[in-house]
């Protein structure tokens, strides 16, 4: 998404700056979750932070879809809604399993 934001901006009918922000958020999530995944013991606060951040991002995707509903293409709206649903589902799983996620198997 980071490399293709100019092209995607045309297909999604969304501002390149929004796509840049989305790409940066996805990279940040990937780095943070990977840093947790490679730990043998994970601090509870970081697991909670991950779940809350994912829930917040899911809400942000939904708000962006509502705000852009009249201008974004169906592809752009689908991307926002699907990403929001997936990240929201991750937040629920992370919250429900937060105690089990504290230690690597």
Domain range summary for the chain, segments of one domain joined by +: 5-102
Q: How does pLDDT run across 9-36, given as a tens digit for each residue?
A: 999 999 999 999 999 999 999 999 999 9
Q: How far apart are CA 3 and CA 11, in angstroms?
A: 14
Q: Is 69 helix (H, G, I), strand (E, B) or coil?
A: coil
What pTM did the predictor assign?
0.90
The pLDDT value recorded for residue 34 is 95
Q: What string of DSSP letters covers 6-44?
A: HHHHHHHTS-HHHHHHHHHHHHHHHHHHHHHHT-SB--H
The confidence score (pLDDT) of residue 98 equals 93
> What is the rounded distance in angstroms from the CA atom of residue 6 to the CA atom of residue 15?
9
Token pair of 39 as six digits: 């730990």
* Tokens encoding 43: 């601090």
25-80 pLDDT, tens digit each:
999 999 999 999 999 999 999 999 999 999 999 999 999 999 999 999 999 999 99
């Amino acid at each position: 998404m980071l490399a293709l934001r100019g092209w995607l901006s045309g297909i999604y009918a969304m501002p390149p700056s929004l796509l840049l922000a989305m790409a940066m958020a996805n990279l940040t999530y990937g780095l943070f979750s990977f840093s947790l995944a490679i730990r043998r013991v994970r601090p509870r606060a970081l697991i909670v932070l991950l779940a809350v951040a994912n829930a917040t991002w899911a809400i942000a995707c939904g708000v962006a879809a509502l705000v852009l509903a009249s201008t974004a293409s169906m592809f752009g709206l689908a991307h926002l809604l699907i990403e929001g649903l997936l990240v929201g589902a991750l937040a629920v799983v992370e919250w429900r399993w937060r105690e089990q996620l504290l230690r690597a198997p």
